[in-house]
Amino acid sequence: MSGPVVIDSPRVSVIITIDGPAGTGKSSIARALAHRLGLRVLDTGAMYRAAAAIVIDHDVPRNDVRAISAKVEEADLHFDWTADPPTMLAWNKSMDERIRDADVNEFVSIIAAMSEVRRHMVRKQQLIARQYPYLVSEGRDQGSVVFPQADVKFYLTADVAVRARRRAEQIREENERIVDPDELARTLTRRDEIDSGRADSPLKCPDDAIAIDTTEMSFDEVLERLTRDVLALKPELGR
């Protein structure tokens, strides 16, 4: 007697989320992890940064949420996935350089607290995941709001002084510019407060996330740890 035919449903997506405060190395870790596992990487902070840059550069009144959302929608934010890491585009023009400027850094937390802007970003991010369903997605709300059903969720933290030191080193290497780690620590703390204190999708560790304090860990140690945790839950990614 034969039983029912069981057909394994094909694995249609793998979503790994990495959330945490500014300067924990999420972007570099997400990129390295995605490379290792053959996944794409989505930098959602770049989308909020691009929105901030658009508002500044187009002189949109900073308290006019409707005008801000309309301008951000008009920009049709999307990525060029042929580049590695993918290039952030607005009106089909690269925003990669502009979004790292100091004025964008200052304003981005304010725009990221606007619910209308967030709704738009969440929709876009979910659409991206439908288009590229094998994804490491990093930000503040990826495991909690955007991809609550993610396969593996991480939440990275580190002491603010260590985060500031790492950022200062990164800026020195990339821009050959010396920045004061104490000033950076103050900026990071201010951003963390706004990101964690906002009403809509505040930064917080999802209950089902793997929380990792990277204060005492090197980049390679963090990467090894995340890779191990993902492969323990998704061994097929190692094949």
> Strand order in 14-19's β-sheet?
40-43, 134-139, 14-19, 152-157, 210-213
Among 71, 124, 140, 153, binds ligand DC (CB under 6 A): 140
Rounded to the nearest whole angstrom, what is the least distance from the CB of residue 197 to ligand DC in the complex? 12
Rounded to the nearest whole angstrom, what is the least distance from the CB of residue 27 to ligand DC in the complex? 7
Question: How far, in Å, CA of 158 to CA of 212, rounded?
Answer: 8
Those residues whose C-beta lies under 8 Å from the C-beta of residue 14, and which sit 6 or more positions away, are 39, 133, 134, 135, 151, 234, 237
3-class DSSP assignment, residue 21:
coil
Site for ligand DC in 52-111 (CB under 6 A): 108-109
CA 84 to centroid of chain Cα atoms: 15
Rounded to the nearest whole angstrom, what is the least distance from the CB of residue 11 to ligand DC in the complex? 25
Q: Which two tokens stand for residue 4?
A: 């029912």
Rounded to the nearest whole angstrom, what is the least distance from the CB of residue 224 to ligand DC in the complex? 22
Q: Is 153 in the site for ligand DC (CB under 6 A)?
A: no
Site for ligand DC in 157-196 (CB under 6 A): 191, 195
Q: Is 44 in the site for ligand DC (CB under 6 A)?
A: yes
User: How does 61-96 read in b/e, with b if 16+ C-beta sit within 10 Å?
Assistant: eeeeeeebbebbeebebbbeeeeebbbbbbeeeebb
Among 24, 40, 42, 48, binds ligand DC (CB under 6 A): 48
Q: Is 21 in the site for ligand DC (CB under 6 A)?
A: no
Nearer to ligand DC, 87 or 231 (CB): 87
Is the Cα dihedral 139, 125, 81, 177 positive or negative? Answer: negative
- Looking at residue 132, the DSSP 8-state letter turns out to be S
Rounded to the nearest whole angstrom, what is the least distance from the CB of residue 236 to ligand DC in the complex? 27
Among the candidate windows 33-41, 43-51, 158-166, 179-187, which touches ligand DC by CB under 6 A?
Answer: 43-51
Rounded to the nearest whole angstrom, what is the least distance from the CB of residue 106 to ligand DC in the complex? 10
| Residues found near ligand DC in the complex (CB under 6 A) | 22, 44-45, 48-49, 108-109, 112, 139-142, 191, 195
